[in-house]
Amino acid sequence: MTEPRDAFDSPWKDILEAYFQDFMQFFFPQIHADIDWSRGYDFLDQELRQVVRDAELGTRLVDKLVKVWKLSGEETWVLAHIEIQSQEESQFSDRMFVYYYRLRDRYNQRIASLAILGDERATWRPQPFREELWGCEATFRFPIIKLLDYASDWAALEANPNPFAIAVMAHLKTKETRNNGVARKEWKFRLTRRLYEQGYERQDILNLFRFLDWLMELPDGLKQAFWADLKQYEQEQQMPYVTSIEQMGKEQGREEERRSLALKMLQENIPLDTIARITEMTIVELQQLQDDQPQG
């Protein structure tokens, strides 16, 4: 089995952006309660990219910088950091401090730096950044959430309708089934089924399934078995949400292959009736495809 894919441009960013308020409520309820959600929030991707580039820290990590307002009316920035790699990192606290002071220095804003750790070592708990020289001392503390801690109360996760409960369960079971494809397929189906059982709207089901599908990768044989099970389940529930999107994707892929083949045959001056018979495209479609090509 494979490990979760590279964090760069991962669906962790997508799910965090789509459900940021749920993210804060699930992982940091006390902070969530102090934010004025009626004023909305803004993602500051450009500001974060500038700081990351200046600090030469790279972009492999899942980070989101978000502008929110406290109930007191004060503008505040939240830097949400998700480390989904398996290994611990000795320079983690240093890197969090660099993000913080770069943002604070450039934009003169108060910032809450929050960390989510998805590694497998229960004993790794990054200490606050601390530096001291000749009586001059700097200390930087930040809240840390360890996904591994949620495994001890699985029943609470199952009872929680927050979309990040599903995300945490998927993360934990992906780690647990690293060497057991059959078990991963069963858990992937079970968690996908929960999306329907929790009563999510269609778009939420599609959003969260995309996350599950990306994280809980399966070998080809088990992948086919999973899709067969899901198709049967959706038919029984009369809610063909995910499998209909999958079918549309396959049909789109076939259409692109057909057009690509037709274009190649047109370039080779094969008669239109022959191309139509092979590709199942009409003469009118082929003529339109031919007219759309730039003239050399």
**Average pLDDT of the segment spanning 220-226:** 85
Which of the four pLDDT bands, split at 50, 70 and 90, describes residue 248?
Answer: very low
Per-residue pLDDT, 61: 57
**Average pLDDT of the segment spanning 224-242:** 81
Task: Give the phi and the psi of residue 156 in degrees, each rounded to 5.
Answer: -65, -40
Whether the per-residue pLDDT at 138 is higher than 60: the answer is yes
Per-residue pLDDT, 8: 36
User: What mean pLDDT value characterizes the chain?
Assistant: 82
**Average pLDDT of the segment spanning 113-119:** 87
What is the distance between the alpha carbons of residues 273 and 181, in angstroms, rounded to a whole number?
48
**Average pLDDT of the segment spanning 100-107:** 88
Number of H helices, E strands in the chain: 13, 7
Query: Per residue in 164-194, pLDDT tens?
Result: 999 999 999 998 998 899 999 999 999 998 9
Per-residue pLDDT, 84: 65
C-alpha distances out from residue 195 to 27, 184, 204, Å:
20, 17, 8
**Average pLDDT of the segment spanning 260-289:** 80
Whether the per-residue pLDDT at 59 is higher than 60: the answer is no
% of the chain surpassing 70 pLDDT: 85
C-alpha distances out from residue 127 to 91, 94, 102, 144, 167, Å:
10, 10, 20, 10, 26
Per-residue pLDDT, 58: 47
**Average pLDDT of the segment spanning 197-210:** 87
Compute how many other C-beta atoms are within 10 angstroms of the C-beta atom of residue 88.
15
Most confident of 31-35, 46-50, 255-259, 283-287: 31-35
Whether the per-residue pLDDT at 253 is higher than 90: the answer is no
% of the chain surpassing 90 pLDDT: 32
Query: Per residue in 23-58, pLDDT tens?
Result: 999 999 999 999 999 999 999 888 887 777 655 554
Which pair of tokens denotes residue 293? 């090509």
Whether the per-residue pLDDT at 2 is higher than 70: the answer is no
**Average pLDDT of the segment spanning 102-124:** 86
Query: Per residue in 154-168, pLDDT tens?
Result: 999 999 999 999 999
Give 281 or 231, the one with higher predicted confidence.
231
Per-residue pLDDT, 133: 94
**Average pLDDT of the segment spanning 53-66:** 64
* pTM (2 d.p.): 0.74
Which of the four pLDDT bands, split at 50, 70 and 90, describes residue 292?
Answer: confident
Helix then strand then coil, % of the chain, to nearest 5: 60, 15, 30
